[in-house]
């Protein structure tokens, strides 16, 4: 029989190698994109319009498109998501109803984005006649990020200590006053973490956006205009081989935005945890 | 000063709380209404078991794509599960808490990278490597499997860490007191106890892999053929929808929605399996 101490050394070595390999993949992906793209990103690239289908010029309209679409989807989904979480945690006990609501949210979370794209196309774009527009796109994205916001808000609200609520009630506050002035402010960093995660997801989404918001390269004038996001622009540049240089540059801006969003949500989470345990 | 009374707020919240269910219902209703009649029209057998996909000629068989989706998902599991699980064990059992708190979010960052970026890396780096050193056209099941495996790794890792951490300390102490080494304790006591949680993580990863679209379109090659080897090009269910939705009309468009119905069914079965595993985990701990 092999010495168990020896087996342990081998096992730990393999586990450490696998972890390092995973980290190396992350570093490679980010490093690869940045090293090829960073040189082509400057103020001009960010603030000027694309020319010749994106072969030249910048990506200004796609940045505007990304900002509008993802912000609007958050603005639509957040009240519903946070409201659901408040209802589940503060206004009701565990029952068949809460189980059904959670089951619905879990199912929604498991639906692949391409299905959301199909649905957004047939429901918002076609049936409701909103055509390919900012409105169709952000409503569909809102459906997609709703479960994430519900789940993270619920976790955040649950972690607010009961003593806080008791004090508020003992001062004569009503349930809603307690929720609004005590529970939600204390759960805010946790809720924001969920919102940042959803923001990252909407920014990176491609299929849904093409199906529901189209891919028009003009700067939008109203909510009923079609737009193109950075992810869609990057996909079209890469897929149709328009310009590798511009594709790398667009991917660089995309990756930096995602990194920034993740850093902010990480920072929020750390603050949230240290506040809770401190 | 009061605009809403306590009761109207409660009623409003009840309505809001059903938003997710309403959304789910709307999605299922519209996809099924658009796709199901088509399936019954051309026949379940013609749709699911034929590999003849020629929408212009009125032939709508998606068997090759079902097989394609299953192949790349299986491949993703082969790549993603060992890496994710190994990382989870290492982070949860061998690293101090503060190091885990830095490395776990770093690996979870992999989940935040947009799928088009993965697809692009696959096309620019991975596919040429496979073509030059292993063979075939490069854009293949193997390329898609590796890319998908990396994409589902963070899901598997996070959930596995959570379920390993949820194993009661007394299990480990029991094994240690019998003279087991740390590694023996892990694979004989901790991992078996965390099994259902880890399985749930793998199933959720499976769901992500089978539903992924953009990365797969870019690296799988998209040929509608029954693949014979991992180096062959394939088209998945998701790729079929995304590639042809742009110009499909009439019957052809319905066929794509019907493809979506099949995808939804597969996902539902997987989610159901994951729910059962998670329920088992909660019962045990």
- What is the residue extent of each domain of chain A? 42-277
C-alpha A76/C-alpha A163 separation (Å) is 32
**How many contacts does A have with B, using Cβ atoms within 8 A?**
227
CA-based nearest distance B226→chain A, Å = 23
Mark yes or no for CB contact B114/A79 under 8 Å: no
**For residue A105, pLDDT beyond 60:** yes
Using a CB-CB cut-off of 8 Å, the residues of chain A touching B10 are 91, 175
Q: Is the ipTM of this complex over 0.90?
A: yes
Tokens of B87: 């990382």
Average pLDDT, integer, range A175-191:
92
Q: Of residues A267 and A276, which shows the higher confidence score?
A: A267
Q: What DSSP string describes B174-223?
A: HHHHTT--HHHHIIIIIHHHHHHHHHHHHHHHHHHHHH--HHHHHHSB--
- Residue B248 in tokens: 């499909």
B36 and B258 Cβ atoms separated by less than 8 Å: yes
Task: Specify the 3-state DSSP secondary structure of A215.
Answer: coil
Q: A56 pairs with which residues across the strands?
A: A51
For residue range A29-76, list pLDDT tens digits in order.
999 999 999 999 999 999 999 988 889 899 999 999 999 999 999 999
Residues in B touching A234 (Cβ below 8 Å): 114, 116-117, 120
Q: pLDDT by residue (tens digit) across B23-67? A: 999 999 999 999 999 999 999 999 999 999 999 888 999 999 999
Residue A268: band (very low, low, confident or very high) from pLDDT cuts 50, 70, 90: confident
Query: Percent of chain B scored above 70 by pLDDT?
Result: 97
pLDDT value at position B1? Answer: 45
What pLDDT, on the 0 to 100 scale, is given for residue B242? 95
Angle, in degrees to the nearest 10, between helices A184-204 and A230-239: 20
**Cβ of A112 and B207 within 8 Å?**
yes
Contact A110 B31 (CB under 8 A): no
Residue A23 pLDDT exceeds 50: yes
Domains, chain B, in order of start with CATH, read: 44-284 (1.10.3720.10)
- pLDDT, one tens digit per residue, over B201-246 is 999 899 999 999 999 999 999 999 999 899 999 999 999 999 999 8
Q: Distance (Å) from the C-alpha of residue A198 to the closest C-alpha of chain B?
A: 10
What percentage of chain B reaches a pLDDT higher than 90? 78
Lowest mean pLDDT among A70-84, A206-220, A239-253, A260-274: A260-274
Q: Which of A25, A91, A247 sits opposite B13 (nearest CB)?
A: A91
Q: Which of A59, A55, A146 is nearest to A108 (CA)?
A: A146
Phi, psi of A242 (to 5 degrees): -70, -50
Whole-number Å distance between alpha carbons of A200 and B143: 25
- Tens digit of each residue's pLDDT (9 = 90 or more) over A137-167: 999 999 999 999 999 999 999 999 999 999 9
Contacts of A122 in chain B (CB under 8 A): 30-31, 34, 257
Q: Which residues of A touch B127 (CB under 8 A)?
A: none
Which helix (H) or strand (E) element contains residue A130?
A: none
Locate the DSSP E strands across B132-237: none
A2 Cβ partners below 8 Å, 6+ apart? none
Q: What is the pLDDT of residues B154-180, one digit of tens each?
A: 999 999 999 999 999 999 999 999 999
* pLDDT for the residue numbered B276: 81
Q: Which residue has 């390269």 as its token pair?
A: A217
DSSP B179: T
Q: Measuring CA to CA, which residue among B67, B122, B47 is closest to residue B237?
A: B67
B33, A123 Cβ separation under 8 angstroms: no
Question: For residue B283, is pLDDT > 70?
Answer: no
Residue A277 binned pLDDT confidence (cut-offs 50, 70, 90): low
Q: Rounded to a whole number, what is the distance in Å from the CA of A220 to chain B's nearest CA?
A: 21
pLDDT at B2: 56
Helices (H) and strands (E) in chain B, counts: 14, 2
Report the residue from B24, B103, B184 with minimal CB separation from A104: B24
**Residues in chain A within 8 Å Cβ distance of B260:** 114-115, 118
What is the spatial distance between Cα B36 and Cα B254, in angstroms, rounded to a whole number? 9
Q: What is the number of other CB atoms lying within 10 angstroms of the CB of residue A8?
A: 17
Q: CATH class for domain A42-277? A: mainly alpha
Instruction: Name every chain B residue with its beta carbon within 8 A of the beta carbon of A116.
Output: 27
**Contact flag A266-B105 (C-beta cutoff 8 Å):** yes
> Residues A166-180: what's their mean pLDDT?
93
For A255, name the nearest residue in chain B, comparing CA atoms only: B113
Confidence band of B3 (pLDDT split at 50, 70, 90) = low
Alpha-carbon span A139 to A178, nearest angstrom:
31
Nearest Cα neighbor of B115 from A210, A52, A265, A105 is A210
Put simply, the answer to whether B267 touches A11 (Cβ < 8 Å) is no
Q: How far is A240 from chain B (nearest CA, A)?
A: 11
Q: Which chain B residues have a beta carbon less than 8 Å from that of A254?
A: 114, 117
Measure CA B79 to chain center.
Answer: 13
pLDDT band, residue A4 (cuts 50/70/90): confident
- Per residue in B243-253, pLDDT (tens digit) is 999 889 999 99
Chain B residues lying within 8 Å of A213, measured CB to CB: none
Could you tell me which chain A residue has the CA closest to the CA of B34? A122
The Cβ-side half-sphere exposure at A85, using a 13 Å CA radius, reads 28
Name the band, by pLDDT with cuts 50, 70 and 90, for residue A10: very high
**Lookup: tokens for B9:** 């707020």
């Amino acid at each position: 029989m092999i010495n168990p101490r020896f087996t342990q050394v081998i096992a730990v070595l393999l586990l450490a190698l696998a972890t390092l390999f995973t980290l190396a993949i992350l570093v490679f992906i980010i490093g690869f994109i940045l090293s090829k793209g960073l040189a082509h990103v400057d103020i001009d690239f960010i603030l000027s319009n694309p020319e010749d289908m994106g072969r030249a010029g910048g990506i200004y309209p796609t940045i505007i498109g990304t900002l509008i679409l993802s912000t609007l989807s958050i603005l639509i989904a957040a009240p519903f998501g946070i409201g659901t979480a408040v209802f589940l945690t503060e206004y009701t006990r565990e029952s068949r109803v809460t189980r059904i609501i959670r089951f619905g949210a879990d199912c929604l979370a498991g639906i692949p984005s391409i299905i959301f794209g199909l649905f957004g196309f047939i429901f918002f774009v076609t049936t409701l006649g909103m055509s390919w527009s900012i409105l169709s796109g952000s409503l569909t994205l809102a459906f997609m990020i709703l479960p994430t916001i519900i789940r993270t808000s619920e976790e955040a609200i649950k972690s607010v200590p009961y003593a806080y609520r008791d004090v508020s009630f003992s001062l004569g506050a009503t349930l809603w006053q307690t929720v609004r002035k005590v529970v939600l402010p204390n759960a805010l960093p946790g809720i924001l973490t969920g919102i940042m995660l959803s923001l990252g997801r909407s920014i990176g989404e491609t299929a849904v956006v093409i199906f529901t918001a189209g891919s028009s390269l003009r700067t939008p004038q109203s909510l009923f205009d079609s737009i193109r996001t950075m992810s869609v622009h990057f996909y079209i540049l890469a897929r149709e081989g328009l310009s590798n240089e511009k594709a790398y540059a667009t991917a660089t801006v995309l990756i930096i935005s995602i990194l920034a969003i993740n850093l902010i949500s990480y920072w929020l989470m750390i603050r949230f945890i240290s506040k809770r345990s401190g | 000063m009061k605009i809403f009374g306590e009761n109207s707020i409660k009623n409003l919240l009840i309505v809001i709380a059903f938003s997710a269910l309403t959304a789910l219902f709307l999605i299922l209703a519209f996809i099924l209404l658009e796709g199901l009649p088509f399936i019954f029209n051309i026949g379940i057998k013609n749709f699911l078991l034929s590999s003849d996909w020629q929408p212009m000629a009125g032939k709508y068989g998606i068997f090759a794509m079902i097989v394609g989706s299953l192949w790349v998902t299986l491949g993703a599991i082969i790549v993603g599960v060992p890496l994710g699980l190994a990382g989870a064990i290492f982070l949860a059992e061998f690293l101090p808490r503060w190091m885990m708190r830095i490395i776990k979010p770093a690996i979870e960052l992999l989940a935040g990278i947009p799928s088009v970026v993965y697809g692009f890396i696959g096309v620019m780096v991975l596919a040429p490597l496979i073509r030059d050193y292993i063979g075939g056209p490069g854009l293949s099941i193997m390329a898609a499997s590796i890319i998908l495996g990396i994409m589902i790794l963070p899901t598997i890792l996070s959930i596995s860490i959570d379920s390993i951490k949820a194993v009661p300390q007394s299990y480990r102490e029991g094994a240690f007191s019998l003279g087991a080494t740390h590694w023996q304790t892990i694979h004989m006591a901790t991992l078996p106890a965390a099994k259902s949680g880890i399985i749930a993580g793998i199933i959720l990863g499976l769901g992500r892999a089978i539903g992924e679209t953009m990365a797969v379109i870019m690296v799988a090659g998209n040929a509608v053929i029954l693949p014979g080897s991992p180096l062959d090009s394939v088209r998945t269910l998701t790729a079929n929808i995304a590639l042809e939705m742009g110009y499909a009309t009439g019957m052809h468009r319905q066929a794509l929605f019907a493809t979506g119905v099949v995808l939804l069914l597969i996902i539902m079965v997987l989610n159901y399996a994951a729910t059962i595993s998670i329920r088992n985990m909660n019962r045990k701990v």
